[in-house]
């Protein structure tokens, strides 16, 4: 093992890795996208399909990324290059995708901090006109100093500070604190929502399996949500696994992480849907729903201000655990491949992604009007810059990254080599290895291509 590899960080415990990887997987999409998709695609029937997609496709791709990272003990690009130099570009695609995502992710993370402060200091103002409050933060009524500059900068500085502490002292320690808190908050909010008057209708909807709601679109939506919610296709899991030793069981770790991520999505569904049924407000997805529409839910229920405050703490925890994992992927590449000093790298990367992120917030409220990139709030003909970034990553780059990973592990490096790595050279059992080989080489690549086609050509909302 090289000196560079020896000097790399390592997770201090199995629990630390599991919580860190689960924190990366558990993001804003689990909490504000999943409930809306479950509502629109049949409730209980969608839950069954979603769990099936996670079990078959999500775990397959995640384990493939884990084997790559631990085998090479290197960042995403170096992992591909070491096993086949002609494929280093595939790792580069993942790092690039993660960087683009982080540009707008830190902005949204900043919004969660703004709303935490808002629910503490001016909840009445939020309730008076929730949409206007949200758009004002984004800059609809003037320069978005708070929404684009102050609070995103706070969020970014916090993320960078955690990364500067290293793997064990930064990422692992943060995950050991925030992930349990996230689950506690989520379970508490779910119980509160399910005990609201009228919430039983929402519970029944989520627990009733209606086969008539099952169609091709439901499968595509479930597959897309399962895939995107696990942080696959951006090199993050490759980088995290590179900090593991042969004593770690990749197969069981994959299962545990996917279960935790799925639980968060399900808990979020059982938190949001009963609440909106109880208040008569239709669930939605995205920033407008999470930061504006839900204010009506919180206002309509007893103790809603506390409920809302805890919800935005929940969003903050989900955002920061994901942002640290994505930033680590970029930093690991630059420090190991370019020889940059870690703190210098953090400063440079943070400045660049912060500047790009500012334009994301500008565009969300039509603050800037440049045809083809930004648009005014009336007569929209082109995707706004923010929508373009999300479309580029969710519909194209993420699935492409995962597709090339499955092809590389399954056909180029070799599925038998991957199984050998997954079991630590036979140290751990892997009874489902024959099934995993088929899923990795054939089923997962085909499903991912279907996601790409459905998202780009058919226009289905699967991201």
Q: Is residue 437 within 8 Å of 267, Cβ to Cβ?
A: no
CA atoms of 253 and 261, how far apart (whole Å): 12
At what angle are helices 14-25 and 173-194 packed, to 10 degrees? 60
pLDDT along the chain (463 residues), means of 10: 48 82 80 84 89 92 95 92 94 90 89 92 88 80 74 92 81 85 88 88 89 82 80 87 90 93 90 84 68 81 86 87 87 86 89 87 62 43 58 81 94 95 93 95 92 69 47
Half-sphere exposure of 426 (CA within 13 A, CB side): 0
Report the 10 Å Cβ neighbour count for 288. Answer: 16
CA atoms of 118 and 280, how far apart (whole Å): 24
Q: Is residue 22 within 8 Å of 179, Cβ to Cβ?
A: yes
CA atoms of 139 and 194, how far apart (whole Å): 35
The pTM for the full model equals: 0.87
Half-sphere exposure of 259 (CA within 13 A, CB side): 7
Give the H or E element holding residue 179. Answer: helix 173-194
Task: Supply the pLDDT for residue 463.
Answer: 45
What string of DSSP letters covers 209-263? --GGG--HHHHHHHHHHHHHTTT-SSSHHHHHHTT--TTS-HHHHHHHHHHHHHH
| 25: nearest Cα among 187, 259, 185, 360 | 259
Task: Supply the pLDDT for residue 15.
Answer: 84
Task: Supply the pLDDT for residue 411.
Answer: 96
| 350: nearest Cα among 162, 143, 176, 74 | 162
Task: Supply the pLDDT for residue 285.
Answer: 61
Q: Is residue 213 within 8 Å of 57, Cβ to Cβ?
A: no
What string of DSSP letters covers 374-388? ---SSS--S--HHHH
Half-sphere exposure of 167 (CA within 13 A, CB side): 20
Q: Is residue 51 within 8 Å of 223, Cβ to Cβ?
A: no
Contacts of 83 (CB under 8 A, 6+ apart): 68, 71, 72, 408, 412, 413
Task: Supply the pLDDT for residue 366.
Answer: 60
Task: Supply the pLDDT for residue 372.
Answer: 42
Which value, in Å, is the radius of gyration of the alpha carbons in the chain?
Answer: 21
In three-state secondary structure terms, 391 is helix
> pLDDT tens digit string along 15-71?
888 888 888 888 777 887 888 888 888 888 999 999 998 999 999 999 999 999 999
Task: Supply the pLDDT for residue 245.
Answer: 87
CA atoms of 434 and 441, how far apart (whole Å): 11
Task: Supply the pLDDT for residue 192.
Answer: 87
Task: Supply the pLDDT for residue 140.
Answer: 67
Q: Which residue is associated with the tokens 């279907």? A: 450
């Amino acid at each position: 093992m090289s000196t560079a590899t020896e000097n790399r960080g390592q997770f201090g415990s199995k629990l630390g890795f599991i919580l860190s990887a689960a924190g990366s997987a558990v993001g804003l999409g689990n909490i504000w996208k999943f409930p809306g998709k479950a509502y629109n695609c049949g409730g209980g029937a969608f839950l069954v399909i979603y769990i099936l997609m996670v079990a078959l496709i999500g775990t397959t791709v995640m384990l493939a990324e884990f084997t790559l990272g631990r085998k090479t003990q290197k960042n995403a690009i170096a992992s591909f290059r070491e096993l086949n130099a002609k494929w280093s570009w595939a790792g580069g695609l993942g790092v690039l995708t993660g960087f683009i995502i982080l540009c707008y992710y830190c902005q949204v993370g900043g919004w969660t901090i703004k709303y935490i402060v808002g629910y503490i200091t001016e909840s009445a103002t939020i309730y008076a006109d929730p949409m206007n409050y949200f758009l004002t933060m984004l800059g609809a009524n003037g320069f978005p100093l708070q929404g684009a500059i102050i609070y995103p900068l706070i969020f970014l500085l916090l993320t960078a500070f955690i990364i500067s502490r290293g793997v064990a002292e930064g990422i692992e320690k943060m995950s050991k604190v925030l992930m349990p808190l996230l689950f506690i908050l989520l379970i508490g909010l779910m119980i509160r929502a399910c005990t609201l008057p009228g919430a039983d209708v929402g519970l029944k909807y989520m627990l009733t399996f209606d086969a008539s709601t099952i169609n091709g679109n439901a499968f595509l939506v479930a597959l897309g949500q399962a895939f995107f919610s696990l942080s696959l296709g951006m090199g993050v899991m490759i980088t995290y696994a590179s900090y593991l030793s042969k004593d770690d069981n990749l197969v069981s770790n994959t299962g545990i992480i996917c279960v935790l991520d799925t639980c968060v999505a399900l808990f979020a569904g059982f938190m949001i849907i009963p609440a909106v049924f109880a208040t008569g407000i239709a669930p939605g997805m995205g920033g407008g729903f999470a930061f504006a529409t839900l204010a009506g839910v919180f206002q309509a229920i007893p103790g809603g201000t506390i409920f809302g405050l805890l919800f935005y703490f929940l969003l903050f925890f989900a955002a920061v655990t994901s942002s640290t994992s994505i930033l680590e992927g970029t930093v690991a590449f630059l420090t190991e491949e370019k020889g940059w000093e870690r703190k210098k790298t953090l400063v440079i990367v943070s400045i660049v992604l912060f500047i790009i992120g500012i334009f994301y917030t500008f565009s969300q409220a039509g603050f800037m009007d440049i045809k083809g990139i930004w648009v005014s709030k009336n007569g929209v003909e082109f995707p706004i810059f923010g929508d373009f970034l999300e479309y580029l990553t969710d519909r194209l780059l993420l699935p492409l990254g995962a597709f090339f990973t499955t092809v590389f592990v399954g056909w180029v490096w070799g599925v038998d080599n991957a199984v050998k790595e997954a079991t630590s050279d036979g140290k751990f059992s892997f009874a489902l290895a024959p099934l995993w080989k088929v899923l990795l080489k054939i089923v997962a690549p085909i499903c991912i291509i279907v996601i790409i086609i459905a998202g780009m050509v058919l226009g289905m909302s699967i991201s």
